């Protein structure tokens, strides 16, 4: 009975230690302290949903830690580092914003690495027979670190809630992402014949 009580006590203590210290995934070596931060993007004063926000650090030591998020219906992106660690490191960052819209046939979704030959053939057929145009809706000046006039400063003790406006919407054709149904014939959606 004493052995059972000792085992039970050790189990309770181990569980307590795990709960206090956390049993989740550890952070990568050298990752700086992260602080909660949001960036709200508006376009001509209205929230811009489904946009990708990426931060480019002015400090080269932070460049190995990718920081960004995707805007929700209110235009707000909750920032994460390496797409899975909540928050962003303290520092000065340039803010890049990207969003595309598509017109035409639906863009097929790649079936994945474990796809069968039939699934890959259906994807290939849909890509070759589809006709869609992809447009950038954010002006080019906001899409690259070298050009963006947007910048923020994330601090350890600040609110870190930023609002940035990117002006009027644009409609610039992204020719590399567009398809014109070059194989001829009618569009055949995935799963179709």
C-beta separation of 67 from 32 below 8 A: no
| CA-closest candidate to residue 187, choices 108, 119, 109 | 108
Residue 28 lies in a domain: no
Residue 156 lies in a domain: yes
Q: Which residues of the chain have pLDDT under 70?
A: 1-25, 181-193
Residue 69 has a pLDDT of 98
* CA Rg value for the chain: 24
Residue 25 has a pLDDT of 64
Number of structural domains in the chain? 1
Residue 32 has a pLDDT of 95
| CA-closest candidate to residue 137, choices 170, 162, 96 | 170
Rounded Cα distance, 4 and 80, in Å: 45
pLDDT in tens, 10-23: 544 555 444 444 45
Rounded Cα distance, 46 and 95, in Å: 18
Instruction: Give the domain range for residue 121.
Output: 33-180
Give the domain CATH number at 37: 2.60.40.1120
Q: Is the pTM of this model over 0.85?
A: no
Residue 17 lies in a domain: no
Residue 185 lies in a domain: no
Residue 192 has a pLDDT of 57
Residue 23 lies in a domain: no
Residue 3 lies in a domain: no
């Amino acid at each position: 009975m004493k052995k059972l009580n000792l085992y039970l006590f050790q189990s309770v203590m181990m569980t307590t230690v795990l709960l206090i210290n956390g049993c989740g995934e550890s952070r990568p070596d050298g990752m700086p302290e992260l602080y909660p931060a949001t960036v709200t993007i508006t376009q001509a004063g209205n929230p811009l949903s489904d946009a990708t926000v990426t931060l480019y650090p002015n400090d080269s030591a932070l460049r190995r830690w990718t920081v960004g998020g995707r805007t929700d219906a209110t235009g707000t992106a909750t920032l994460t580092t390496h797409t899975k660690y909540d928050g962003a490191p303290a520092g000065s960052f340039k803010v890049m914003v990207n969003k595309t819209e598509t017109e035409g046939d639906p863009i097929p979704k790649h079936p994945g690495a474990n796809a069968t030959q039939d699934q890959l053939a259906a994807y290939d057929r849909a890509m070759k027979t589809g006709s869609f145009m992809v447009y950038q809706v954010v002006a080019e000046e906001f899409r690259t670190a070298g050009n963006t006039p947007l910048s923020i400063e994330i601090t350890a003790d600040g609110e870190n809630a930023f609002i940035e406006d990117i002006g009027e919407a644009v409609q610039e054709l992204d020719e590399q992402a567009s398809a014109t149904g070059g194989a001829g014939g009618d569009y055949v959606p995935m799963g179709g014949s």
